[in-house]
Amino acid sequence: MTDDRRPENDEPNEATRDNASQGLPPLPESLGQAGASVPPTPGQPLHSQPLLGQAAPGQPLPPGAYPPYSAAPPPKRGLGTGAIIGIVAGGIAVVVIVVLVIVLVVVRALVSSSGSDAGDSGDGTGGASASPSDAVTDYLTALSEGDADAALALLSSAPSDDTLLTDEVLAASVALAPISEIEVLDETVGNGSGDVTVAYRLGDTPVQSEFGVLDYDDDGVWQVTGGTSYLSVSKFDGLGFTVNGQPAEGDEFEVFPGAYQLATTLPNFALSGETVVLATEPFGTVDLQGIDPVLTDAATQQFRALVRSAVDACIASTTLAAGCGLDLPATLDDGTVLTDGTITRSLTADSSTTIDSLEPTLSYDNPTLAQGEFIGGIDVSAQCSQNGETGTCDLLFGPSLGQPSVDMASETPVVLWD
């Protein structure tokens, strides 16, 4: 029989200390004492009797009892299907996020590289430069090389009209006055926009201009704003107007910085003044003062001849209605009655001289309409009657030849009178 009395020494035995050091509950005292044991009954299996603090098989443990130390720990349960799916899904989501981040970084790098190398980024117009100064120098360099597409790609927005923004027009500009000696003088930027001041030569003309620059999405890629000038050509409408050989019928066109030859293709017309103009001011309008459409010398002679012919035909008429502004009423203001078919008209010396020296000008509203000056009066006589008396009357205040005009672009020009 096991002695279950506690030893007089209250210190825990080694077995008790070992269990406590491993975080296990202490052994029952009868088992923890040195030399204590429960010998088996012959023919019975070891521990067939319940140990101290152990419940009989099939019975619950009494309060404060400990489970037998020989028992193996309960097996761990595996994860449920839902937990496994959640872990797998979470892992996939993390992988997808990592892949997306990598893809975005790679795409951004490719876009930046493409924009710098090939001029594709920004707002879709295509061009890109790494700094504000680069954007302006790249733009002027493209113009100096006659590359209109490259220059357009460096603008922050596409022009509303590109009629004169072509390689052909630009090539003629380079031939007239090439761009050279490009130098950045100043750069002022902030909050994604700014200005770059440059100096360059346009042919033999030194130029200093300020270009606006823009990094619209703050990605370090800069483009030029307002890199073109404006050419207002409404006063040449209908004259077969050309700019560097390109037809330009309309009101206003955009042009690159450069030189431009203005001309008209109609045979009766020319342009006065210096017809090669320079576009140097971004956002500015090219100065065309002193350049106006005029008649050629041959067309001026033709105008005078047409007027003389028309006047001669009107003067030769003997009827009250003669044309050229020389019509007469049948009854004058003083009651004198003129006999139709007896009218004699003749030019004065002054009027004849005026016709021979007419200097026509072209109408501002209709540039093909040539207008002469006021010619003057004529001499008129006719058979007449007044108060029952008849005779020949000289009209002291007869009609006058007014201001002739001719559409010199017409295939069949006609003289009109004002």
Tens digits of per-residue pLDDT, 80-107? 544 444 444 444 443 334 333 343 333 3
Question: Can you tell me the mean pLDDT for 346-358?
Answer: 95
Long-range contacts of 6-15 (CB under 8 A, 24+ apart): 7/33
Share of the chain above pLDDT 90, in %: 63
Question: Can you tell me the mean pLDDT for 139-168?
Answer: 96
- The phi, psi pair for 190, rounded to 5°, reads 180, 140
Residues 6+ apart with CB under 8 A from 15: 27, 31, 32
HEC profile for 321-367? CCCCCCCCCCECCCCCEECCCCCEEEECHHHHHHHHCCCCEECCCCC
| DSSP secondary structure of 372-392 | PPP-EEEEEEEEEEETTEEEE
**Gap between the Cα atoms of 407 and 303, Å rounded:** 9
Question: Residue 58: pLDDT above 70?
Answer: no
Surface-to-core class of residue 96, CB atoms within 10 Å of its CB (0-12 exposed, 13-18 middle, 19+ buried): exposed
pLDDT band at 397 (very low <50, low <70, confident <90, very high): confident
pLDDT of residue 396: 86
Question: Residue 13: pLDDT above 90?
Answer: no
Question: Can you tell me the mean pLDDT for 50-67?
Answer: 46
pLDDT (tens digit per residue) in 326-339? 999 999 998 999 99
pLDDT band at 218 (very low <50, low <70, confident <90, very high): confident
Q: Range with the lowest mean pLDDT among 46-50, 134-138, 322-326, 327-331?
A: 46-50
pLDDT of residue 73: 45
Element (H, E) at 395: strand 389-395
Count CA within 13 A, CB hemisphere, residue 58.
Answer: 0
**Gap between the Cα atoms of 88 and 79, Å rounded:** 12
Rg of the chain on CA atoms, in Å: 54
pLDDT (tens digit per residue) in 174-209? 999 999 999 999 999 999 999 999 999 999 999 999
pLDDT of residue 128: 61
